[in-house]
Chain A
Amino acid sequence: MTHYQADAVVVGGGIVGCATAYQLTQSGMDVILLERAGIGSGATGRSGGGVRQSARVSGEIPLAIESVNLFQGLSDELGIDIDYTQSGNLRLVEMYDHRRPMQVDISRQQSHGLDVQWLEGADVIEIAPALRRQEIIGASYCPEDGHCDPFKLITGYFNRATQNGVRTLLNSDVHSIERNDDGGSTVKTQQHSVKAGSIILATGSGTQELCLKIGYDLPLVNARYESMITEPLPPLLRQMFGVASSDLFFRQTQNGGIHFGGGIIDEEEQEDVRTTQDNLEMAVSHITRLVSNLENANLLRTWGGLDPSTPDGMPIIDMLDENVFVASGFCGHGLATGPIVGHYLAQWVIDGNKPQPLAGFNRNRFDGWLQTKWTPSGSFEAALATQDTQVAGKSVAVEGVPFMTPPDFEQCDDEGAPHRLVVSPEMCTGCRMCEVACSIHHTQSVSQTDLRIQVVYPSDDFFLPIMCIHCEPVFCLQACTHKAMEQDEQGIVRVIDNKCVGCMDCVKACPTGGVTFAISRATVVKCDLCDGDPACTRYCPTMAITYRQADPACATKYKQLIDVHLKDRVTR
């Protein structure tokens, strides 16, 4: 076993992996690239070569638009002509029934800022004369779409990455990933062990399996795509073509070959990359019906490939664990977005902040509906479907309004710890509903004097409920010389009413101001956590006070807050 060490290890030598490796090294990172077979041997090398923004689900459109901007300078940047032509994408409509849904879908894409339009049949023939007029009702047309040579694209990225010092280990199938104490990971293959600070999984059809090994069940299903190419023909087709409600795509490559094919999701044969006679025949008959003069062209070769799909037609680009990133599930159209994903993914790895354009690709968007069958919304198919499509759940938070975002308890929750009150002062509006609830619960009236919880107002935009947090050490109990306080096995401290003489020693000792002298009873009062169902938390409208198993560090933080804000007596 050979041991390697690097800043980052990228697993997967496809477009996403190579682009990410290249971008990481552009920022001076030391990168190792692991590939189970050869560069571009997966979905990238087997792709259709389309570089389109149109006919995508809404969430991908902004990323695709940005990627196309990147493509325009890519031949120069990579130092290799990637045969990129921006000749437009036509998504053909063959049936009158599809005309209106397509128009609706075009409007949808326009509303996301994409330059895409509806062309009537005659106008389609005008720009693509090889199509048979009688077959074409119309098409969606996005003039800035186009196609490129995927092999040249990935070669460009790989060469640049290598020039920047990326070390590549081919034929290296990852069989385990271990987390190290320093926050990094060790990736192991049969022959190598690579230790790195960050790990990026751009593993295409192998992602599901690999992620399961490290405990993440991602909703990815591999789909098979089958393609073929003809012998070189004279110039016939300029654009990239797709067909509404069909998987057929086609384009003419730079050297004249017509590259066409389609995809099928067949869960039975997930790992099979062979082509099938039935599918090929279907594709051939379909393309010859649409394009004239193809009947006599000879096929040179056919091939198949796998790419994982997600339930909503968009990839998962996310951080699985600290410094473990994944980018997969491109659903058969990742070639166009690969370069921009590589760009942002590298940015994320380097500065640790998720770039805003990747915000919509979290894996947790599938939480709760993994088991349901789901029609991708935001697509022609959805517009075609008559039944309602399921939409993601309503967000509780209001974007751009900080106090409308529920508090994040990840830092303080601790399953082993006892239940305590946790204050999130940023959520507190100063309404005193906690006081009211506490008072009604303990005194059956809305009292002002026997308050076990009390909101204070250190400034006009910062409010804080103060109460006992049942902290350790138990200052109040220690200070009490009349044995008027007791602590149960949960650590909850209660006042023994008939022993309390109201000497106030505990009031003075309490670091949070959580013990109060109640004039009406001449004893002290304090929070008793309402026997496990605190009234204040039930009435608090904003989750500023919650009752949870909290790390004792929360109590320390709360005490610090009180120290900072309540040094002097604060009025309410």
Chain B
Amino acid sequence: MVHITVKLNVSLRKYRSSLKINEEMPILIPSDTTLAELLEHILQIPAEEVAIHMVNGIKSDMDRILVEGDKVAFWPPVAGG
């Protein structure tokens, strides 16, 4: 098992409504868990609602395998100007 933290941002926080803005949620996950598995089976957030996924501040592929200490953050589609 590896320790990671997860941040859910903007509208995605509705899936864990107790989380504060920008709060990191620590979770222990099985080794070799991918970003996709984390999203689908552990967090159970519909993939189509997520536009940007970052691991340690870097946009990552969904098949990336998470390792100890990774900081994961998800965003719905957002933009600014």
Contacts and interface: CB of A to CB of B under 8 A. Distances in A.
The answer on direct contact between A and B (beta carbons under 8 Å) is yes
Interface residues of B, number: 23
Contact of A378 (B27, B37, B44, B46): B44
Interface in B9-28: 11, 14, 16-18, 25, 27-28
B42 A104 contact: yes
Contacts of B58: none
Given A108-B44, A112-B16, A399-B11, A103 B29 contact: yes
Interface string A97-112: 0001001111110111
A356 to B, nearest CB: 9
A117 interface: yes
B43 interface: yes
Contact of A107 (B11, B30, B48): B30
B29 A113 contact: no
A382 B30 contact: no
Contact of B43 (A108, A395, A398): A108
Contacts of A106: 28
A105 B29 CA distance: 9
Most B CB within 10 A of own CB, among A107, A108, A117, A395: A107
A394 interface: yes
A103 B46 contact: no
A339 to B, nearest CB: 22
Contacts of B16: 111-112
B68 interface: no
A104 B18 contact: no
A391 interface: yes
A398 B11 contact: yes
B1 A104 contact: no
Interface string B50-80: 0000000000000000000000000000000
A58 B44 contact: yes
A113 B18 contact: yes
Given A108-B41, A382-B41, A399-B14, A100 B30 contact: yes
B25 to A, nearest CB: 6
Interface string A388-414: 100100110011000000000000000
Contacts of A394: 46, 48-49
Contacts of B46: 391, 394
B41 A103 contact: no
A98 B71 CA distance: 27
B29 A107 contact: yes
Interface in A113-139: 113, 117-118
A2 B1 CA distance: 64
The interface centre, meaning the residue of B28, B33, B43 with most chain A CB atoms within 10 A of its CB, is B28
A378 B15 CA distance: 12
Nearest to A113: B18
B77 to A, nearest CB: 12
The A interface is mostly helix, strand or loop, or mixed, namely mixed
Interface in A28-71: 58
A118 B28 CA distance: 9
Nearest to B11: A398
B46 to A, nearest CB: 5
A446 B38 CA distance: 51
Contacts of B27: 107, 110-111
A383 interface: yes
Contacts of B11: 398-399
B25 A111 contact: yes
A310 B18 CA distance: 26
A104 B44 contact: no
Contacts of A108: 41-44
A377 interface: yes
Given A110-B28, A111-B16, A104 B48 contact: no
A119 B52 CA distance: 34
Interface string A363-382: 00000000000000110001
B19 to A, nearest CB: 9
A319 B19 CA distance: 29
Contacts of A399: 11, 14, 17
A103 B1 contact: yes
Nearest to B38: A107
Nearest to A58: B44
Given A118-B1, A394-B48, A394-B49, A107 B42 contact: yes
Nearest to B32: A100
Interface of B: 1, 6, 11, 14, 16-18, 25, 27-30, 33, 37-38, 40-44, 46, 48-49
Which 8 A-B pairs have CB atoms at the shortest separation, nearest pair first?
A103-B30, A107-B42, A107-B29, A108-B42, A383-B41, A391-B46, A104-B41, A399-B14
12 contacts: A103-B30, A104-B41, A107-B33, A107-B42, A108-B42, A108-B43, A110-B28, A111-B42, A112-B16, A378-B44, A394-B48, A395-B14
Given A104-B30, A107-B42, A398-B11, 17 more contacts: A103-B29, A104-B29, A104-B41, A107-B33, A107-B38, A108-B41, A108-B44, A111-B6, A111-B16, A111-B43, A112-B16, A382-B41, A394-B48, A394-B49, A395-B14, A399-B14, A399-B17
